[in-house]
Amino acid sequence: MALLAVKNLNFHIDEQPILREVSFSLEEGEFAVLTGPTGSGKSTLLRLIKKEIAPKGRKLGTIEVFGKRLSEISPEESLKIGYVMQRPENQIVTDKVYHELAFGLENLGLSREEIERKVGELASFFGIDSWFRKDTFALSGGEKQILALASVMAMDPRLLLLDEPTGELDPIASENFLSLLWKLNRELGVTVLLVEHRLDQVLEFADKLLVMEDGGITAQGRPEEVIFGLEDRGRIALPSAVRIFLGLNGTGRLPLSVREGQEFLGKFRPEKEFREETAPSGEIALAAENLWFAYERRAEVLRGVDLKVREGEILCLVGGNGGGKTSLLKLLAGFHPPLQGRISVFGRSLKAYGKDYYKEIIAYLPQNPEDLFLEDAVEKEVEEEELPEFGLESLSRKHPYDLSGGEQQRLGLAKVLGKKARLLLLDEPTKALDLFWKDRLLAILKKRKEESTIIIATHDLDFAARIADRVGLVFDGRIQSLAGPRSFFGGNSFYTTAANRIARKVYPWALTEEEVVEAGRRNGEFDEVR
């Protein structure tokens, strides 16, 4: 008997179809990944399985969990369905880490001894020991997400639902989180249903891959079987190893991981000549000198940042959660004054601009696009001509808060880019976007270089490699290095693209799958496999 069985599920909100004839099942202990374009219904499906947070609407079909209809399971059984959100801030409810771990257990009425034992075990398993007594608001994004997962696991769930939990994590924190998730699945037998756009890191863990498009499941099965049917679907982000394999007409076993991709590419003749990069040469658009900043005394977030960005340049800032990228963007936007240091934009200080800085010079995209929305309909938030460029025509009369995460991101981008500002500050602009919209945004921003200088804070290393003129690592409150993308990513082991990790021994200069495929075709395979 399946642990979870969804049968012919249809769901409508205000007569609009959201889910159409969705059917699939998970056996106990399976690790399943659910992927698909933004707005295809993935989050709605997950919330319907967790009945306490299910959206209101008209539902047809059945959901069975633990051998019972979802409507028939008891409150105690419902606790065995864990749910982890994309934004941990929306899930954490207490002020201290240890309080958060104990919160659910206290509500169950367990004894103090039982709670202390359980909390100690959770903290040890999840590596929380060193920040056990910290304030929850002071945690990094990665720590918050691990805490959210640990708090859910305190309930000993049999089924764990996760809605893009790595969407706001840096690459290293994302790998750590997914490793913990795999450990829970393999060592504790927890059944996992994970919604994820980025497949590079997760498919090697997965027993089953589900693809959702336009509200329906269009493919399901073992990852290596399903992947072959997704090659021509432009909104599914296939793993880098798969794209390289298919681009080079590979035969045999399909590689899903970096290691397997390296083994496949090892058959090809190397080409290790370094490709020169041209440094930006325009006039200075923005200059920051010796910037210091702190939200609390003796807890500096920025420690003497120096930065010069030239007109028409696209600069990408990468680094760990809590490293200072967002804080730096907010200082450059004039939202906070630095404790020390100076900022000039197009030759004038921010103070000299006054309110004109926001009217004429700058546009800022925050991490949470909802912070931008002031109206009750999409069509009131942006000019009519902006709707088609970001695929918002059919959503024009919806409330911005009723959009999916990817749709909200597109609306936020439309509002910010529609301003035609000379300086664009974009915080995680690709968050929740599928492959199609990432590519569309890439083209839009490259065109905007003609009239705007663009600074992007991002965890999306592949996007940064494709768009940046220079890349900088923000660490310990400073920008530790600034270089062209080939020099920057080619010199890193962890902060680099999956394609570069795969190709490093053969084509160390290659950053994208397209570059690897082009080099592979140009050089060909060895006559005999070594």
Report the distance separating Cα 287 and Cα 342, nearest Å. 8
> Token pair for residue 287?
């200059």
Q: Are 207 and 31 in contact (CB under 8 A)?
A: yes
Report the distance separating Cα 102 and Cα 311, nearest Å. 52
Bridge partner list, 12 = 17, 58
> What pLDDT does residue 520 have?
95
Q: Residue 233: is its pLDDT beyond 70?
A: no
> What pLDDT does residue 234 have?
61
> Token pair for residue 421?
């500002």
pLDDT tens-place string over residues 423-438:
999 999 999 899 899 9
What is the 8-class DSSP label of residue 216? E
Number of H helices, E strands in the chain: 20, 20
Report the distance separating Cα 355 and Cα 111, nearest Å. 58
Report the distance separating Cα 65 and Cα 71, nearest Å. 10
Measured at the CA of 409, the angle between CA 512 and CA 426, to 5 degrees, comes to: 65
Global confidence as pTM: 0.91
CB atoms < 10 A from the CB of 164, how many? 23
Report the distance separating Cα 465 and Cα 197, nearest Å. 18
Mean pLDDT, residues 445-465: 96
Bridge partner list, 208 = 32
Q: Residue 530: is its pLDDT beyond 60?
A: no
Q: Exposed e or buried b for every residue in 475-512, given b needs 16+ CB within 10 A?
A: bebbbebbbbbbbbbbebeebbbbbbbbbbebbbbbbb
pLDDT confidence tier of residue 15, bands split at 50, 70 and 90 = confident
pLDDT tens-place string over residues 39-85:
899 999 999 999 999 999 999 999 999 999 999 999 999 999 999 98
Q: Residue 303: is its pLDDT beyond 60?
A: yes
In sequence order, what are the residues at sequence separation of 6 or more whose Cβ sits closer than 8 angstroms to the Cβ of residue 295? 301, 327
- Quick one: which of 176, 99, 179, 186 has its CA closest to 136? 99
Mean pLDDT, residues 501-510: 94
Q: At what angle do helices 97-107 and 112-125 cross, to 10 degrees?
A: 130
- Return the CATH number of 284-483, one of 1.10.630.10, 3.40.50.300, 3.30.420.40, 3.50.30.10: 3.40.50.300
pLDDT tens-place string over residues 355-373:
899 988 999 999 999 999 9
pLDDT tens-place string over residues 89-135:
889 999 999 999 999 999 888 899 999 999 999 999 998 988 999 89
pLDDT tens-place string over residues 250-284:
998 899 999 999 999 999 999 877 667 887 888 99
Our CA dihedral for 277, 282, 284, 290, rounded to 10 degrees, sits at: 0
SS3 at position 152: helix
CB atoms < 10 A from the CB of 162, how many? 26
Mean per-residue pLDDT over the chain, rounded? 92
Residue 142 CA, distance from chain mean position: 12
The CA distances from residue 480 to 80, 251, 459, 514, in Å, are: 45, 42, 16, 29
Percent of the chain with pLDDT over 70: 98
Q: Residue 212: is its pLDDT beyond 80?
A: yes
pLDDT tens-place string over residues 385-394:
889 999 999 9
